[in-house]
Every structure is written in C-alpha cells, then in structure tokens.
Chains A and B, each alone.
Chain A
C-alpha cells in the first residue's frame, strides 16, 4: 500500500477515533456518577452538530459552537432531571429501556426540527483547498481542531476531577455514594452535573467533526454503539483508556476497508465488540472492580 494511502486511512481513523472517544468519555462520566449506561449519548453529539449548523447561519462560528454546546448541556440536564431521575432506581433493565426510549424521542424531535437533510459546518479555520500536503496525503486543517478538541476535553476533565472541589466531590460520589452524602455532597446534584458535562462533551465532539463527517438526525444510534464499544474496550469508567481505545477502533475501522467491502465496515467493528465482550467483559485495560455493575 502506498504511503500516502496509509496516511489517508490513518487520518480518517484519527477523526472517527476522536469522536468515538468523546462519546465514550460521555458514557464514562455518566456511568461513574450513576451506573447508568445512557443509550441516548450519541444523540448529544447529533444535537451539537445540528444546533451549531443552524446557528452558524446567524452567529459567528465560534459563538454558534459555544451556544450549541451550552444548549445541548442544558438538554442533558433536562433529560436527567425530568426523566432519568425517576427511572434510575427501578433497576438496570428499566433504565436501559428508558434511555433507549429517550434517544428515540430526541432523534424524532430532531427529524421534525431539521428534516432528513444532511447538514454540515464550515471549516473552523481555512478551507478544503488549504489542505496541508504531507508525504502526498492531504490533511484538512479541521483535523487539528478534532485532535485539539479531544486533547482539550481530556486535559479539561483531568483538571476538573483532580483540582476542583466539584470534581473531587463527583469522584467521591462515584466511589461511595452514601459516604459522599455523609460528607455533605448532594449526590443527585452531582448526577445532574455529570449529565450536563457529558452532553456538552458530546456536543463539542459533534461540532468539531461536523465539517468533515457531516451530520444528520439519525447518526446518534451508531455513535452510541461505537462509543459504548470504545468505553467497554477501555474498561467502563476509565476515560484515558477510552481515548486509546477510541483511536484503536477508529484505525481498525478505517484500515478494515482495505480488506473488507466498505458496506461491512461496521460488521467488523461490532464483531470486535462481541468478541471482546465474550472474552474479557472487563475491558482490555479495565480492572475487574471498575467494571462490576454498580448498584444504587
């Protein structure tokens, strides 16, 4: 395979890997706070891209993206306050079914609001023409934004969980809910914040990849399952591992088109998911303790 082709596959893997990682981080934040796997996670990325593409018509791009992230965060908070809080204590099966229902509702609402058309965002800097050539492959300038946003999300989350009081409170809450409430932390509030953060991260990821991958009302379900694959691959709850796993999955998917037809690309990914779940349900990089289903 010529070198420029390898590079091109690598770039495409990097872009998809970053968005899978961002969705997986969203899964992890909510999972750590509540032990819920939020099947509506992919819809947040869809919402971010769609809202930004609408607002980009009337606002400067950076403001449109910021507004999209903020609005999606608010909808994440609303989803938790209005629905999931009531369902969360009635068992794992019920929360799974409820979050699936929610994802359908969000998607159908998006279909009503935006129709079936595929939308996109302008490049954050430069244009398609200003691609940088490197060893014969073209790098769209947006790639820097995608990689940069992922790095920023990781750095921001690390700082948040390590150095801020609220971040520490959330970690305390996920380690021991009862213990945390004895220390004066309100677990319900932490859960709400977790949903807000996770929806915002999803939205940001949805925005930065939108110029490259485009966005559509129905992309959420696919992102959710890929994101979960990545989260499970890295071990549920482990966000650093999620980035590595996301990149690995992106690369696998991208390079798999060399050997299998494009139409079967997802089959490869999902077979990896099944094989992984069968062989090592705790995740390749995860510990058994972190992956045990938490019961609240």
Chain B
C-alpha cells in the first residue's frame, strides 16, 4: 500500500479503540474486550517482529525473550519494596517528585515502591540495551546460525526467569500493581476498567502501527527492503547494512518489551511461559501468515489468531494449530529458485500484495 491508503489500518485501529467497546456493550458481548485487549498487546510484539523478519529479512526466534524481559523487569521494579530506604534523604526526594510511590500490601504494611512509569521506562530501556548489546554479533550471522542464536537467546531468558527465585521461578510474578497513565486512567485488570483498557491497548497498537508505517515509507524502510532483497547489493548502494539491521532488531525488541510490560500490568502477573520457545514461534507464525513484509497482514492475522487462541477455541490443539499454520503457509508459498536468496514471500494469498514477486 502506498499514499494515504497506508494509514488505513492505523485509522481502523484507532476507530476500533473507541467504537468497539460501545458496540460490544450494545450487543452484550463486552466480555470479549478482555481477550481483544490482550490480543492487541501480543500483536504489538508481532509488529516489531514483522519489521525485523518481513522487511529486514532477519529471522528471530527470540521475540518472546524480549517480551518477557519487558514484562518481568516492569513487574519486578514496580513490585520491589524499598521501605528499608524510606527514611533516607534520597528516597524522600524521589518520593517528593513522584518517582517513588507509597502504598500498602495485602496485610496493610506500608510499602514504598518505584513508580510504574519508571519501572516501565526502565524495562523498555533494558530490553533495548540488551538488544543493542547482542544485536551486533547476532546479526552478523545468517540463515540457520541466526535462527539458532536467537532461539538460544530466547531459551536463556526463559531458563533464567524460570530458575530465579526473585522472579518467582515457575510461578512467575503476580500482584503486579496497576499502571496509572493519567488520573483516572490506568493499565490494570478488573471489570470497571475493561472498556478503558481496551481503548488504551488499541490506541497503543495504533500508535505503534503508525510509527512503523511511517518508518517503512521512509528512506529507512527502503533501505531495509533493499537489505532484504540482497544484502551485498544494498551495501554496494551505500546502505549501512549492519546499522539498519541493528536498528530493526532494537525496534523489534522495544515493541516486544512495551507489549510485555503493558500486558503484565494489565494481567497483574507474568509467568515464564511468556518467554517460551512456543511463544516466539507464535510471533513468527503470525508474521508468516500475514505475508511477512506486510504490516496490515500481521495486524489482521495476529488479532484473529490471538483472539481465537485466548478464547480457547483451539482447545488442546492450540500449539498444533500454530504448527499447522507454519507448515501450510510454507507449503503454499510460491517456490522457485529464481526468486533469489531471500526466498519468496509466503503468507495467505489475501496478504500477498500485487507486484510481489510471489503474488
């Protein structure tokens, strides 16, 4: 899509953010809002991967790792009790400017904790930092090596959160405080906040999409596509390939971390399952069904599949459904040597765009 048309999905998301709660309330199906909210966050993580995998052509099997880093870091920091330092001068100062907040736990004990804003920002910065740190060596790898390295990274994150007592081991962290964005508006669970949280999630999704649509339509987007089609050729045309790959990797990680942190505050908990290989594969499956380099395809496929999965439609075949999707998408992908190293673009035919070599 080009021209003003490319903003259509952004507009649709923003409209849905306000219209859907009213519509669902009118049809007495407002209970669906919970899963739709969660889907929006999962899709946000998939959009980040879409930039990296679809546009820059770099596979990542570790997207769930960044999602978990965002979620766990935000949960850990906003739960941490700093009462021991409460009498200190610095703590007093920080509390005065709102960086620390006072509250009480379930037993009525006073706790002093870090503001969720700070926790959120730290979590996203942590994910970005880790991505930048490992991105340089990881992205020098290609093909299978890249896939295995990112897979290894994802499993490392999973094993660390599963094995660390302070992160709740196999139970994960629960009782994560709500995240007040504006007075009266907070990312948190609960029936009263259901509609407003849906709006927040879908607006965040619309904003994330808008940023990516703009990025892809810009010089950077053209550079990424050139890189996807042929790294050496792009380099020869003066594209700083390693810098663009790294930027795409970091942006993908930031999207996953934002999604992970917000979903954790919404659910009030996070478990090691969020970091699992299966989750990473899901993000890949969604991007693949969506047609790889296709943001609106990823958006539609992601919302649809996540919503069905969260509603429990697939039952115990949940993972099998995603496995089948991956195999089918690749079987149906147009094949042929002539399409070059990067391979043809898979995806459901509806998500393949005209003018695509495989379309």
Residues in A lying within 8 Å of B, measured CB to CB: 37, 39, 83, 86-87, 89-98, 100-105, 107-109, 111-112, 221, 225, 228-229, 232, 261, 263-264, 266-267, 270-271, 273-274, 277-278, 281, 293, 295
B343 touches A100 (CB 8 A): no
A contact residues around B142 at 8 Å (CB): 92, 293
Residues in B lying within 8 Å of A, measured CB to CB: 53, 57, 59, 61, 134, 137-138, 140-145, 147-149, 151-153, 155-156, 159-160, 162-164, 277-278, 281, 284-285, 288, 316-317, 319-320, 322-327, 329-331, 333-337, 339-344, 346
Given contacts A93-B57, A293-B144, contact A101 B327 (CB under 8 A): yes
B153 touches A274 (CB 8 A): yes
Docked pose: A98 CA to B327 CA in angstroms: 5
B151 touches A274 (CB 8 A): no
Docked pose: A275 CA to B54 CA in angstroms: 27
Docked pose: A228 CA to B146 CA in angstroms: 12
A108 touches B141 (CB 8 A): no
B159 touches A277 (CB 8 A): no
Docked pose: A116 CA to B140 CA in angstroms: 39
Docked pose: A232 CA to B339 CA in angstroms: 28
A93 touches B327 (CB 8 A): no
Docked pose: A206 CA to B189 CA in angstroms: 45
Interchain nearest-CB distance for B337 vs A (Å): 6
Docked pose: A108 CA to B285 CA in angstroms: 16
B contact residues around A93 at 8 Å (CB): 53, 57, 59, 143, 342-343
List 20 extra interface pairs beyond A90-B330, A96-B143, CB under 8 A: A37-B144, A87-B335, A89-B337, A90-B344, A91-B342, A92-B144, A96-B147, A97-B346, A100-B281, A100-B284, A104-B278, A104-B319, A104-B326, A105-B320, A225-B155, A263-B162, A270-B156, A277-B141, A278-B140, A293-B143
A94 touches B323 (CB 8 A): no
Neighbour of B326 across the interface among A98, A111, A263, CB < 8 A: A98
CB-CB nearest in chain B for A92: B143
Docked pose: A277 CA to B148 CA in angstroms: 9
Given contacts A90-B334, A97-B284, contact A273 B149 (CB under 8 A): yes
A contact residues around B329 at 8 Å (CB): 97
Given contacts A90-B343, A98-B326, A270-B152, contact A277 B337 (CB under 8 A): no
Given contacts A90-B344, A96-B147, A270-B152, contact A101 B330 (CB under 8 A): yes
Docked pose: A87 CA to B288 CA in angstroms: 14
- Minimum-distance CB pairs A-B, first 6: A91-B343, A101-B326, A263-B163, A104-B323, A108-B320, A98-B330
Docked pose: A180 CA to B294 CA in angstroms: 40
Neighbour of B346 across the interface among A94, A108, A278, A293, CB < 8 A: A94
Docked pose: A293 CA to B336 CA in angstroms: 18
CB-CB nearest in chain B for A264: B163
Identify the interface centre among A91, A267, A274, A295: most chain B CB within 10 Å of its CB. A91
Docked pose: A232 CA to B144 CA in angstroms: 10
